[in-house]
Amino acid sequence: MKIHGSCHCGFITFEAEADPDKVSICHCTDCQAGTGSTFRTNVPVAGASFKMLSGEPTIYIKTTAESGNHRAQAFCPRCGSPIYSTTPGQGQQAFYMLRVGTLRERDELTPKRQNWFRSAQPWLAALMSVPKNEKGAA
């Protein structure tokens, strides 16, 4: 399916083709720190389908603790929204892991797999029983 992305401030916009069956969550501690949240939701896209329409992300190279692999983490230089990760290098890479929260079609991109579940926050399973507001905190 065609997907359309934008960072929080709108500086960076992009589009790509994604397979909704490939959406996954990562609970690893790198993703917790990198999102400032509890887990990251990703969908991979082929580099050939990934087009930046505006803006240029800042790239940060991270050595992942477990594998020792290097990953290029792209985020908006103005608002800090995470955009994607990919293999380090110049030019188009083979695949990009897009951050689903930046995608207009996020409601249709439901996770099919959870990775690094051993690092998942233990309170996640009970989240639906936590009191809810339909809008922001009252």
**Contacts to Zn ion by CB under 5 A:** 7, 9, 11, 26, 28, 31, 76, 78-79
In whole angstroms, the minimum distance from the beta carbon of 13 to Zn ion comes to: 10
Our CB check for Zn ion shows the closer of 13 and 93 to be: 13
In whole angstroms, the minimum distance from the beta carbon of 11 to Zn ion comes to: 4
In whole angstroms, the minimum distance from the beta carbon of 34 to Zn ion comes to: 8
* Residue 56 token pair: 């240029």
Our CB check for Zn ion shows the closer of 48 and 58 to be: 58
In whole angstroms, the minimum distance from the beta carbon of 129 to Zn ion comes to: 26
Q: How far is CA 34 from the centre of its chain?
A: 10
Please state, in angstroms and rounded to a whole number, the distance separating the CA atoms of residues 25 and 100: 10
Beta bridge partners of 62: 71
**Listed residue (104, 100, 120) closest to 112, CA to CA:** 100
* Residue 43 token pair: 């969908």
Our CB check for Zn ion shows the closer of 1 and 113 to be: 113
Interacting residues of 130 by C-beta distance below 8 A, sequence separation 6+: none
Our CB check for Zn ion shows the closer of 3 and 26 to be: 26
Interacting residues of 70 by C-beta distance below 8 A, sequence separation 6+: 61, 62, 63, 64, 87, 88
